[in-house]
Amino acid sequence: MPTSLLGADMAESERATTSESFAFACLSCGYGWEQSFERERHTGPEGERVIRYLVDGRPVPSPLIHPSCPNCGGHRVRVLPAGAVDDVRRGPGSGAP
């Protein structure tokens, strides 16, 4: 089934919304950050699966497809599980939980 990343308007009753968070690490400049998203899923008028990501209520491109670094604009970005950036910043043996 095709997937649309920025879906059109949809009826409230047809939405399935979940919250997702990801960590990102730029392989060009070393910058790391985390971002939370709302992910809306529904079935489109022709039966296609539609997925739309939102930040602060505004549609944004999927964070999993070609992310870019807000620090340098680079596209060599690794997507990691939420919390991974903080784990790296603490470092091994830091004693932090």
pTM of the model: 0.68
Q: 88 near 37, Cβ under 8 Å?
A: no
**28-84 pLDDT, tens digit each:** 999 999 999 999 999 988 989 999 999 999 999 999 998 999 999 999 999 999 988
Both tokens of residue 58? 């505004």
CA 23, CA 4: separation in Å to the nearest integer?
23
